Amino acid sequence: MKNLIIISLILLMAHLAHGNCDGIKNRTIDLVKFGAKVNDGIDDGQSIQEAFYCAAKLYVADSDRRSSVKIVFPEGVLQVNRSLTINLRSNSIQYPGAWNGGGIILVGRGAGKSILQTRSNGTLLTIYPRKAQPLITQTIEVRDLALKTIVANEGSALRIQEEYVQDTPRSHQLSINLNMQNVLIDGTAQGAYFREGIHARYLNRPVISNVKVRNSSAGLNRSNSSCLYFFYSYGVDVNHSECLNADYGINMNFVAEGDVVSNSHFHGVNTGVRMYVARNIADVPGPSNTDGKITGNTINYRRHGVIIQGKSWFTIAKNNITYQSNNQHSGVDIFVRDSRKVSVTMNNLKGSGQNRFGIIIDEVDGGHSQLTYIFKNTIFDANTGIYTSSRTDFSIIFNNTFNQVGRKVGLNGSNQQFFD
């Protein structure tokens, strides 16, 4: 009998040591206590997934859902050979007003210290937020952490996949806040890459700060690969971040106004920054006619430096954009399509290539570009400095500097004004 009691105690202690979800205090989960071990090269996927199940359980168990659950990563490398998920979708409570619905926090000891590494080909971590509700927000926070692959990976390092209800107005559904700071997404091992560093959908004002997505040169040649991809999101703010080797540095589809990309670096990309907004304002999630900007960035590109479509009251300013000449693509430093009241100013545009354009104002698919201000830009070594298509109105061009440019300005729209 005595031996049976001892054995029972040992089993109980082992259970607690490997993470008893009912014994978690302060809504903080330590992965080490769930059995994860660093730097041993052994798959910790099951232990980490158990911790993620626990985090979801604690979140759902909070009837008010106002508090966040924190998951703490230890210093060192945690190896996983599977895709991980955090599922917060179970949510039957209808909140009676506007408040913060809590969320999930993933925190490490530093981007170069806490590393979650995968050998598998597939998304490393998927977070399923709770179903969106009007006026209720949920925060997903990731900081001081590295997500790493050592294989050619067709998945994402991090995917935010909101459950979307088709019969609810889109602007009411954008209630998921993503806050990422000091995060390294690393695919720099020989031949390695993530197809997407971050893939996020239906977000409200996400902030991506000091996030570095780095792939090996193999990542550059992956069609539609992106360091950062956003779909149906509002007010995206990317700042002081970095992209190395991808088809797109930042790729935004059906985003709303208010998007900002600032003080970031893009190297080894075919297209640096792409933003697309549906021309039908009913398809734009969130308020329209608010400003946004692409400013203070360094972009070394092979196809487009910056391309925006369907933007309004938008500024592209103080960027250093360089065309890396190649045999596959002609270069366009700044490409403005179907947009109105866009200001392109104080950009330094350069690169070697007879097929290169500095700035193009254009329309596609029956759209229109209107009232574009282009001034105080420096354009160096281009076939054409500034070009406007026939369906552009009121392009106003003045005080630009042209060096080694074959044709300074080609105007084809109506009411165009050029002051050298």
pLDDT tens, position by position, 270-304: 999 999 986 554 454 444 556 789 999 999 999 99
Output b/e per residue, 395-418; b: 16+ Cβ within 10 A: bebeebebeebeebbebebeebeb
Instruction: Give the span between the Cα atoms of 189 and 119, in whole angstroms.
Output: 11
| pLDDT at position 402 over 90 | yes
Q: What is the pLDDT of residue 312?
A: 82
| pLDDT at position 171 over 80 | no
Residue 384: DSSP 8-state: E
Q: What is the pLDDT of residue 278?
A: 61
pTM value is: 0.90
Instruction: Give the span between the Cα atoms of 307 and 362, in whole angstroms.
Output: 11
To the nearest 10°, report the CA torsion of 251, 249, 128, 133. Answer: -40
C-alpha separations of 185 from 90, 156, 188, 287, 405 in Å:
29, 10, 9, 32, 39
Q: Any idea what the Cα angle at residue 230 is, between residues 208 and 181, rounded to 5°?
A: 15
Share of the chain above pLDDT 70, in %: 81
The whole-number average pLDDT for the span 400-417 is 90
| Phi, psi of 153, rounded to the nearest 5 degrees | -115, 120
Q: By the 8 A CB rule, do 120 and 151 touch?
A: yes
| pLDDT at position 18 over 60 | no
The number of helices, as runs of H, and strands, as runs of E, in the chain is: 3, 30
Find tokens 């998007």 and name the residue: 259
With 0-12 / 13-18 / 19 or more C-beta atoms within 10 angstroms meaning exposed / middle / buried, residue 390 is: exposed
Q: What is the pLDDT of residue 327?
A: 63
| pLDDT at position 66 over 60 | yes
- pLDDT classification of 132: cutoffs 50, 70, 90: low
- The full set of domain ranges for the chain reads 22-290, 305-420
Tell me the CB-side half-sphere exposure of residue 344, using CA atoms within 13 A: 31
| pLDDT at position 95 over 60 | no
With 0-12 / 13-18 / 19 or more C-beta atoms within 10 angstroms meaning exposed / middle / buried, residue 9 is: exposed
Q: What is the pLDDT of residue 6?
A: 40
Minimum mean pLDDT range among 2-16, 70-84, 264-278: 2-16
Instruction: Give the span between the Cα atoms of 307 and 360, in whole angstroms.
Output: 10
| pLDDT at position 215 over 50 | yes
Distance of CA 286 to the CA centre of its chain: 18
Q: What is the pLDDT of residue 279?
A: 52
Minimum mean pLDDT range among 24-28, 140-144, 161-165: 161-165
* Measured distance between the N- and C-terminal CA atoms of the chain, rounded to whole angstroms: 97
Q: Does domain 22-290 have CATH number 2.60.130.10?
A: no
The whole-number average pLDDT for the span 234-241 is 94
Q: What is the pLDDT of residue 228?
A: 98
Question: What's the one-letter identity of residue 226?
Answer: S
| pLDDT at position 13 over 80 | no
The whole-number average pLDDT for the span 85-100 is 63
| pLDDT at position 105 over 70 | yes
- pLDDT classification of 323: cutoffs 50, 70, 90: very high
Minimum mean pLDDT range among 55-69, 178-192, 266-280, 356-370: 55-69
Q: Any idea what the Cα angle at residue 156 is, between residues 155 and 160, rounded to 5°?
A: 130
3-class secondary-structure state, position 162? coil
Q: What is the pLDDT of residue 281?
A: 45
| pLDDT at position 167 over 70 | no
Q: What is the pLDDT of residue 15?
A: 40
Q: pLDDT (tens digit, 9 = 90+) per residue, 188-200?
A: 999 999 999 999 9
